[in-house]
Amino acid sequence: MREIFIEKNEALRRVAIKENGRLLECRIEEETNEPSVGEIYRGVVKNIVPAIKSAFVDIGYEKNAYMYLGEEINGYVKKGQEVLVEIIKEELNSKGAKVFPFINIPGRYVVLCNKDAEISFSQKIKNKEFKINTAKELQGLIPIGVKIRTQGENVSLDLVKQEILDLYKEYEAIEKEFKFSIKPKKLYGDSSIVSKILRDCVNDNTSTIFVDSEEDYNTVEKYMNRKEDMKAKLQLYDGHRNLFDYYGIEREILALRNPNVHLQCGGSLVIEHTEAMYVIDVNSGKNTKASNMENTAFITNSEAASEIARQIRLRNLSGIIIIDFIDMIHENHKEKIIELLEKGFRGDKNKTVIYKPTELNLVQIARKRNGKTIYEYMEEPCKVCGGHGKKLKMSYITLLIHNEILKKDAESVVKDIYIEINSLYKEAIEEDLFTFLKDIEALDKNIYLNFVQEVEYFKVEPLIFHSQIENLKGYKVTLDNL
C-alpha cells in the first residue's frame, strides 16, 4: 500500500511517498524566486543564435530562458517576438531555464496541449475499444489537443469531460492575459507541490495521506471531494514532533547523503557524482552464500537493480547514469537485471530510458531532469576545503536541531538546552544569533551553544541538574550576543 506524507515548514514543503513501508520518493519545494517546471510565461525573444540552434527569451528574470530551435520550431520565432512558453527545465548554475513554445495544462485525467487539436492517449492505456469510444465522444469538445492520462481510463467519461472543460477555462484565461499584458511575466503555475502530488501520485493503492497543516488539509480535502476515484483516507497530524521526524522519514532522508548503500544480501552500492554523470558501482561484499561466482553475481545484481531504481528516484538523479554491475556470463541473467530495473521505474513521472549492457557490461540510463536533486536542497559547498567538499545547509541543520528540541519537549518541558554543533557553522550562526534561535524556536529557552570540530553535525542535550547548568554557563547565549 502507498502512504503519502506532506510536511509544511515556514519556507519549505516536503512530500514523502512510501510503498509497503519503504520510502520511494521525496519531493521538496522551497520558496525561491526562480522559474519552475510546468509554469507558463509571457516572454519576448531577445536573441537568436543559429550556431547553437537556440533562441534566448526574456521571461522576467535576470537570466534569459533558452529555447532549442528544432525542426518544428525553426522559423517559428523571430527576434522581438512575444511568445507564450512553458518551463521544461529549471535554471542550472549559470544557465537559464529551458522553455518550449507550446504549453500543457495538466489535470488528473487529461492534459491539454495547444500544439495541435488531436486526441491522444497515455502509452499505458492498451484498451483499443476505450480509445475509439473516448476519441469519438471528445471530438470537437475543445479546439486544442487533449491527451488522456492513465487515470482517465478508471473514471466516468462525464468526469473526464468536466475536467477538460475546467482546464480549458484556465487555458482561455492564460491566452487572454497573454494578449493584454505588456511585460514578460508568469501567467500560470501550480500554487504548490501539493496539487502536483494529488494529480500525479495518488493511485488506487494509496491508503492514507498525512498532512500537518490545516491549510494543506483543506486543499487536499477540497481536491479529493471533486475526484470520485480518490478513496484514500486523509489524516491531519497534530503531534508535538515534526511529521517527518515522527514517522522516521527524516532519518532516511539524511542517510541519502551517504554514497554507500548496503544490500540485504551482503553486497553494496557506491553512488558517485562526476562532472558529466552519476556512476553507480555494485559490489558483492559479504555475499558468499551462492554456490558459484555466477550465482553470487546474479543474486547481488538482482537486489542491486531494484535498489538502484529506488535510490535514483529517492535522490532524484537525472542526466546520464552509468551502472557497473558485477560481470555475468549468462544472457538470461543480464536480461532479468534489465527487467528488474525497468520494473523499478514503473510509475516514475520522469522519462527514463534504460539501454542494453555494453561490451564492458555497463548499463546506461538516461533520465530526464525534473526539479533539483535531494543534495541540492540539503547541501552547500564547504569553504574550508575550497568548495570541493559539501556540508549540510545551514537551513537544514536548523531544521534538524528544531526537531531534536521538539523531541526533548515532548518528553518533558525543558528550559535549559545545550547544543553542540560543528565549528563549520560557527560563522553563519554568530552572524545572526537571533535568527538561529528563532528558526529552532528557542527564543523562550536558555540555550548553551558550543562549537566543536569533533561532532559530525550537532548534539542536543537537555540540562536538568543545576550542576550541569553551572558547568556550562560559559556557553550560554545572552542578550548581549544577539
Q: What is the pLDDT of residue 348?
A: 87
Q: 3-state class of 241 per DSSP?
A: coil
Inter-CA distances, 439 with 212, 238, 303, 376, 448, Å: 18, 20, 41, 20, 16
Q: Which CATH architecture has domain 39-101?
A: Beta Barrel (2.40)
Which CATH class, in words, describes the domain spanning 257-378?
alpha beta
Locus of grid cell 469510444: 133
Specify the pTM: 0.85
Alpha-carbon span 84 to 101, nearest angstrom: 6
Q: What is the pLDDT of residue 268?
A: 93
Q: What is the pLDDT of residue 37?
A: 86
Q: What is the pLDDT of residue 287?
A: 63
> Is 6 within 8 Å of 211 (Cβ atoms)?
yes
Q: What is the pLDDT of residue 293?
A: 86
- pLDDT tens for the chain, 482 residues long, are 999 999 998 778 899 999 999 999 998 887 777 888 889 999 999 999 988 889 999 999 989 999 998 877 767 788 999 999 999 988 877 789 999 999 999 999 999 999 999 999 998 899 999 999 999 999 999 999 999 999 999 999 999 999 999 999 999 999 999 999 989 999 998 657 898 899 989 988 999 999 999 999 999 999 999 888 899 999 999 988 899 999 999 999 999 989 999 999 889 999 999 888 999 999 987 766 656 788 889 999 999 999 999 999 999 999 999 999 999 989 999 999 999 999 999 888 888 999 988 888 899 999 988 878 888 888 887 776 655 578 888 888 998 999 888 888 877 778 999 999 999 899 989 989 999 999 998 888 999 999 998 888 899 999 989 998 889 888 888 766 55
Ranges of H-type helices in 99-229: 128-138, 157-180, 193-200, 214-225
Q: What is the pLDDT of residue 239?
A: 87
Ranges of H-type helices in 361-393: 374-378
Which CATH class, in words, describes the domain spanning 1-31+189-255?
alpha beta
Between β-strands 206-211 and 2-8, what pairing exists: parallel, antiparallel or unpaired? parallel
For the sheet containing 352-354, what is the strand order?
Answer: 260-262, 268-273, 278-283, 319-324, 362-367, 352-354
What are the sequence ranges of the domains in the chain?
1-31+189-255, 39-101, 257-378, 394-475
Q: What is the pLDDT of residue 386?
A: 58
Residue 476 phi, psi (nearest 5): -70, 135
Question: What are the DSSP calls for 126-157, one per residue?
Answer: --HHHHHHHHHHHTTSSSSEEEE-GGGGGS-H
Alpha-carbon span 397 to 384, nearest angstrom: 18
The residues, any chain, with a CB within 8 Å of residue 380's CB and separated by 6 or more, are: 390, 391, 392, 393, 394
